[in-house]
Amino acid sequence: MQTQQGQAQPPSAPASGPNPLCEVGRNHPRDRHRMKPLADHPGVWECPRHDLFARVVDKETADELARGDRYPMHNGQEGVVVGTGGERHGGVLLYYRPQDG
Cα distance between residue 95 and residue 20, in whole Å: 10
The radius of gyration of the chain from alpha carbons, rounded to an integer in Å, stands at 12
* β-pairing verdict for 52-57 and 91-98: antiparallel
Cα distance between residue 10 and residue 53, in whole Å: 17
pLDDT of residue 25: 66
Q: Encode 57-89: b = buried (16+ Cβ within 10 Å), e = exposed.
A: bbeebbeebeeeeebbbbeeeebebbbbbeebb
3-state secondary structure of 68: coil
- What is the mean pLDDT for each group of 10 consecutive residues in the chain (101 residues)? 44 58 73 86 92 94 96 96 88 93 56
pTM: 0.77
pLDDT of residue 16: 55
Domain spans of the chain?
20-98
